[in-house]
Amino acid sequence: MRHSLGPRVIPSSRRALRAAVCFLLVCAIATSSVAAGRSISSADRALLEDLSRRSFRYFWEQADPNTGLVLDRARTNGSPHDKQHRDVASIAATGFGVTALCVAAERRWIDPKQARERVRATLRFLAERAPQEHGWFYHFVNYVTGEREWKSEISSIDTAILLAGILTARQYFRGDAEIAKLATKIYARVDFRWMQSGHQPLLSHGWKPETGFLESAWDTYSEHTMLYLLAIGSPTHPIAPRAWKAWRRDWISYAGYSYIAGARPLFIHQYSHAWVDYRGRRERSPPYADYFENSVKATRAHRAFCIELSKEFPGYSENLWGITSSDSPKGYVAWGGPPRDPDIDGTVVPCAAGGSLMFAPDICLPVLRTIRDKFGEPDKHIWGVYGFVDAFNPNTGWVDPDVIGIDVGITMLSAENLRNGTIWRWFMRNPEIPHAMRLVGLVRSGSSKLRRAS
């Protein structure tokens, strides 16, 4: 039994020392991403600036100015797509797009007033006119009307990505009362408990009006961590914090790296980190996971995996690698690894390395340089008005004619977090997210705070 000895009196010199240490730790957290950015060469900074501006151009040009809904995909040269895809927006791409508008305003790529007006129009449409079910949105919608396309599902994860963008804008444009009000309304309307139907305490992947809730639930580690934090931190319809511990954490070991993994695609280690700042936090109970370091290890293991594949596909190398869900000659494929996906054919997906810039710039930047310098000639159509093509195969010469909004988005947001951490900073100002992290037991871990600045 512990006995209370009453309040401890700390000598003033020790108080000063403790205060100084705390101050230094806070400074280290706030500047870690900037420190990483300063270690980047001027040539790489120029590459990231060019790539990011091209990426933003996608979200500005491929969105309806009245609804703000962003097209799911576009041709690499910006020309209209075929009839099947021409008017189809992705609600997740819209979440990336709202975030991109904040970055563009901050960097003065466009007049901040233009960015604010586009964000305001987007939030008005989503709050007042867009079809929704208990606050959740359809995965694919018509970018002019917002009506459901392709009989898509009400998607929990795609709505979460949209909410992340909306909450980022709520903080970046916090001086705009209407934007703040609309953002809060959209978030508060989402009934997270409803999405648990049939899967409690877990959240379902989604719902269809024809068949009800999807059979799958978010029951193993994936890109869903942001979804659970949004749900647990909800000011109106929160789910129990125990849901955080209800999904599996399966470990994988490859090339000397041990980390938590779920599906093969690398993007599962990227998406939540585009907004949620997991740096310097660790679970206070087993397995004591540090999710930022987990994504660092997953990225490095993936590179080693691709280098091993170079024995079969010589296009892969130390500076040319990356496999995550993307287009392919056979259509869209959710491939990746390790372990080995049987569909792998030597294709390189630029957003695999691009989306991991915030984790491991030392190995990801060389990939982007190699793609641009070696394959970026205009006649190869791999480097275009919106940045990198979605996928290409250096072994066969196949080049995807498209870019995909979510892949452009994760590259842009990861680059921005590497450069100065502004998206992390804006998003984490939303009090619901730190509150949810406290509830699930993600606590500060001083050693890893400082390690990522190196």
Question: pLDDT tens across 76-100, in order?
Answer: 988 878 888 989 999 999 999 999 9
Q: Report the pLDDT value the prediction gives residue 105, as an integer from 0 to 100.
A: 98
Torsion angle of C-alpha atoms 181, 187, 191, 196, degrees rounded to 10: -170
CA distance 263 to 238: 27
| % of the chain exceeding 70 in pLDDT | 90
Cα 337 to its chain centre, rounded Å, is 19
Contact 35/88 with Cβ under 8 angstroms? Answer: no
φ/ψ of 154, rounded to 5, equals: -70, 115
Q: Does the reported pTM lie above 0.75? A: yes
CA distance 1 to 187: 45
Q: Report the pLDDT value the prediction gives residue 95, as an integer from 0 to 100.
A: 98
Work out the number of other CB atoms within 10 angstroms of the CB of residue 427.
24
- b/e per residue 216-237 (b: at least 16 CB within 10 A): ebbbbbbbbbbbbbbbbbbeeb
Q: Report the pLDDT value the prediction gives residue 80, as an integer from 0 to 100.
A: 79
DSSP summary character for residue 236: S
Q: Report the pLDDT value the prediction gives residue 100, as an integer from 0 to 100.
A: 98
Q: Which tens digit of pLDDT belongs to each residue from 351-403?
A: 999 999 999 999 999 999 999 999 988 878 999 999 999 999 999 999 999 99
- b/e per residue 317-333 (b: at least 16 CB within 10 A): eebbbbbbbbbbeeeeb
Q: Which residues contact 176 (CB under 8 A, 6 or more apart)?
A: 116, 120
Measured at the CA of 53, the angle between CA 49 and CA 56, to 5 degrees, comes to 140
